[in-house]
Copies of this chain bind each other. A is one copy, B any other.
């Protein structure tokens, strides 16, 4: 059911410590923690003895001790101690998952074999504190993965679902352009709005008021990584042919879409900006604002999932604004087929 041969965001960097934590990812129970050197570790969260969650155990000298009968595992998942006997049966080891920590996110490889490091999505904006300030968060959605894809690929919903923060009438009114890059496996959705109202999200942080030029360019790398290149500039000062646009204010809004179960999904988000860098008050404002926006999405998708359960005849009608979402669905279907 899940696309396994991919990197997914597994946790915020700040969530992991020497206290083991459990998280369900692609239907699998995973325990994650940091060893005494700070390195992040992920193992299957199930003791092979009687199935007790290892996340309820304790980390003792970089070894995870099961809280039920004390079966003990090192950070590679190998069993190193059992109760009542010296000999350790060979099948007593648990799966180890590769993890990579990049900026505020920790990525997990859920596939078989060794991961290709080159396939990890690039997020330099999350790792460059000199030029970009970042706020981030994570939330569980009790709705299926595809509901979140639909949501993020069609931002016309901002006008209605997020009308107090980032949604202005022009977002819904403005037609989009969609491009699909089959080779690099990306779906692009472009929405450029000229001389439009500046939403509170930007006006309170940039000082720009009244009308602005605004753009929202989506790069979606199925299945798990989404990047929204969002920006505003004073009216009439568009990017130059060489791409430079020093009058503009930029935000990169990232989403890690990580299936949890067949009908729930983790929504990791991170927001990087190239203005007011290092300004803690702006951090706080944007963090609260974005968390509020994400919660509006969560509430809506939770409602949609419940409705899916109670009215299975889920017919749809699609219009032009849906072309981004439909392109994403097609690419996901091709990847599942392959």
Question: Given A83-B173, A321-B83, is A316 in contact with B49 using a C-beta cutoff of 8 Å?
Answer: yes
Question: Given A68-B161, A311-B29, is A300 in contact with B52 using a C-beta cutoff of 8 Å?
Answer: yes
Whole-angstrom CA separation of A49 from B176 in the bound complex: 17
Interface size on A, residues (CB 8 A): 52
Whole-angstrom CA separation of A99 from B83 in the bound complex: 42
A82 touches B49 (CB 8 A): no
Mostly, the A contact residues are loop
Question: Given A48-B315, A83-B159, A307-B53, is A172 in contact with B92 using a C-beta cutoff of 8 Å?
Answer: no
Q: How far is the CB of A218 from chain B (nearest CB, A)?
A: 15
A157 touches B49 (CB 8 A): no
Q: How far is the CB of A173 from chain B (nearest CB, A)?
A: 7
Q: How far is the CB of A100 from chain B (nearest CB, A)?
A: 26
CB within 8 Å of B: which of A38-86?
46, 48-53, 56-57, 65-70, 82-85
- Asked if A156 is an interface residue, CB under 8 A from chain B, the answer is yes
Which residues does A use to contact B, with CB under 8 Å? 24, 29, 46, 48-53, 56-57, 65-70, 82-85, 89, 91-92, 150, 154, 156-157, 159-161, 172-176, 261, 300, 303-304, 307-308, 310-311, 314-321
Q: How far is the CB of A193 from chain B (nearest CB, A)?
A: 12
Number of copies: 3
Instruction: Using A48-B317, A70-B160, A84-B176 as known contacts, list a sample of 17 further A-B pairs with CB atoms less than 8 Å apart, ordered by residue number in A.
Output: A29-B307, A29-B311, A46-B307, A49-B316, A50-B150, A51-B304, A52-B303, A52-B307, A56-B300, A68-B300, A69-B154, A70-B159, A70-B172, A82-B319, A84-B156, A84-B175, A85-B319
Partner among B67, B176, B316 whose Cβ is within 8 Å of the Cβ of A51:
B316
CB-nearest residue of chain B relative to A299?
B56
Partner among B66, B172, B314 whose Cβ is within 8 Å of the Cβ of A83:
B172
CB-nearest residue of chain B relative to A306?
B53
CB-nearest residue of chain B relative to A58?
B160
A317 touches B92 (CB 8 A): yes
Partner among B69, B173, B314 whose Cβ is within 8 Å of the Cβ of A172:
B69
Q: How far is the CB of A299 from chain B (nearest CB, A)?
A: 9
A321 touches B173 (CB 8 A): no
